[in-house]
Structure 1
Amino acid sequence: MDIPVSAWASDLFDDEKTAQLVRDRIGQALVDMQANAQASHLEADVSSTQVHGVARYRGAYERVSAALENIPGAELVKPNGFQFELVRVGNALLYPFCFSKKDSSVRTAKIQNVWSVIRELFAFAPPSQQADIFGEYEFDPSSVELGPKLAALPKDTRLVLIPFACNAAGLLKPYWGVAALANDSGSLDWIIDPEPLPLPAAPTLKLGIPQQKTNHSGFDEGEQPLVALAPRPNADRKLDVTPTTEAPPAKPLVNEDDEN
């Protein structure tokens, strides 16, 4: 049975049908990401989980982008200084990230490295509602200077986070929701409660078939080879000698001296 999407998602993605399509494709993309990362780890046959980590890190962006890019109205956005493309659908700019390698509460999720691009992304998030002990807010979205790529987005764009817990053993807890960046330590203030993402039962089947050429002809459609014909000598024609098509059989030698 389909799980209905929340009202906030329907509003951000323009309608309920698009919101459900985006949500389902994100879930499939994360399952595919984990399957690819696990396959890379097994193929590497090493004790370290570094291979899984690299494949998971890149796959989180690449699989989500690939899954959503053909939705009507979707736009790929590559922030200045960032190596991956993010997807904007409706008014939502989607940002996936791994918040833990353990089965942890999403309420403890933090952004591990609050660098310039992260600050730009959170300029599209609401301001934090959590003031510090002095009654001030550490991060002010309105004070962030945007690079050209993000500055070109519509002003009503809203950052939607896709946090998930994941390790080499499995994809644990994927969510989506809207949060403010509370401080430069990466703490999040959830404005819209993070909701679990429903996941498909299996990853997308990938067939290991090499790309086939389709523009070459069949073996029986090629040009016929030219066979060179040797003309009969004029002497044979004048003597009316019957033409021969095979060389006469060689008489076996009794010993090596017979040849001489």
Structure 2
Amino acid sequence: MNVENGESAWAVDLFGAGQVGLVRERLGQALVDMQANARAAQKEGDVDTNHPYGGTRWPGSYTQVARQFEDVEGAVVFKPNGFPFKLVHVGRGLLYPFRFSTEDDPVHSAKLPSVGPFMRELFTFAPRPSQTSIFDEDPEFGPGPVEVRPQLAALPEGTQLVLVPYACNPHGLLKPYWGVGSLVDGQGMLEWVTTPEPLPLAATSTRRKLSAVPSQASALKHASFDSGAQPVPQMFVRPDAEEGRKIPPMTEPDPIEPLVHEDDEN
């Protein structure tokens, strides 16, 4: 492996001697931040499955890489029409992070999680494998030539896809690497053109933590049916004439006999 000033020749060729170290560091920081965010989501989710972690990790890897390169001179962060994530083009490199395992597996056996239209377009910027590939006019592999979207097709000539495979799970970020590889088949098998190299990991994350929730104004209490003032019963005094004649108070009026009953014929 040719090395210049501690950096591999392929990396210096793609990113330049003055920028290659920065690119490596920013990639490592992005993955540390992705893992921190995903673990925080899992903790806050307080559930028995790893869905909060996975739902944050997958888009988080692309989001954090994009954030790390927003202020890097010469880097372009863009989202091709129809792509589910942002891409970063820096130097002559097109960066693509992906998780290859949840365990401590060797990176040389890394495979892409899936191979769809997006992946086939990205790998048009990768070297052709020594074996028959999915880009050949071979019915066994199909689909043959790939039509690349305008924003990808507009990338400078000489752009090279740089793979950033990593292994992680809710307990930790295990192995992040980078290197150049070819796509061999529709199952995601890779053929490494360069030896995958470990990426440096930052000691701490720079993830954007949630700010404290401001105190909320107490809502007005809705009046309950018994919260109002109690009514004062009115006391009616018997007339003096009735009391003088010692007429007993009438607590219930005598029933009134109707003049006509419902069963009368007339």
**TM-score, normalised with respect to structure 1:** 0.74
Residue pairs, 1:6-155, within 5 angstroms: 6-13=8-15, 15-129=16-130, 131=131, 136-140=132-136, 143-155=145-157
Residue in structure 1 matched with residue 218 of structure 2 by the alignment = none
2:249 corresponding residue in structure 1: none
Q: Give the whole-Å Cα distance in 1 for the aligned partners of 2:8 and 2:207.
A: 30
Structure 1 distance, partners of 2:23, 2:11, is 10
Given residue 188 of structure 1, which amino acid in structure 2 is its aligned partner? L
Q: Deviations over 1:136-172 (max 9, x none)?
A: 4443499321111111112211000000001000000
CA drift at 1:7? 1.5
Structure 2: where are the runs of 5+ without partners?
Answer: 138-143, 215-266
TM-aligned CA deviation for residue 4 of structure 1 = 2.8
| TM-aligned CA deviation for residue 207 of structure 1 | 5.5
Cα deviation, 1:205-245, whole Å, max 9, x if unaligned, reads: 64554699xxxxxxxxxxxxxxxxxxxxxxxxxxxxxxxxx
- CA gap 1:148/1:170 in 2 versus in 1, 3 angstroms: same
Deviation at 1:5, TM superposition (A): 2.1
The CA distance in 2 between the partners of 1:36 and 1:94, in whole Å, is: 21
Kept after mapping to 2: 8 A contact 1:164/1:173: yes
Q: What SS class does the counterpart of residue 189 from structure 1 fall into?
A: strand
Amino acid in structure 2 at the alignment position of 1:70: D
Query: 2 CA distance for matches of 1:160 and 1:87?
Result: 10
The residue number in structure 2 matching 1:256 is none
Computing the radius of gyration from Cα coordinates, the structure with the larger value is 2
Aligned to 2:255: none
User: Equivalent of 1:181, from 165, 183, 199?
Assistant: 183
How many angstroms apart in 1 are the aligned matches of 2:84 and 2:133? 30
The alignment yields a C-alpha RMSD, in angstroms, of 2.1
User: Which position in structure 2 is the counterpart of 1:221?
Assistant: none
CA distance in structure 2 between the aligned counterparts of 1:205 and 1:183, rounded to whole angstroms: 36
Measured against aligned partners, the alpha-carbon deviations of 1:19-65 in whole angstroms (never above 9, x if no partner) come to 10011011011001101100110011111001101111011000000
- Unaligned ranges ≥5, structure 1: 213-260
* Rounded Cα–Cα distance in structure 1 between residues aligned with 2:27 and 2:121: 23
Paired residue type of 1:63: Q
Residue 69 of structure 2 contacts residue 77 of structure 2 at CA under 8 Å; is this kept in 1?
Answer: no
CA distance in 2, matches of 1:92, 1:145: 20
Q: Which amino acid aligns with 1:75?
A: V
- Identical amino acids, percent of aligned pairs: 50
Q: In the aligned structure 1, how far is the partner of 2:213 from the partner of 2:52?
A: 26
1:198 to 197, 200, 213: 200
Aligned residue pairs, count: 204
Is the Cα contact below 8 Å between 1:127 and 1:140 reproduced in 2?
Answer: no
Measured against aligned partners, the alpha-carbon deviations of 1:101-122 in whole angstroms (never above 9, x if no partner) come to 1111111111121100100000
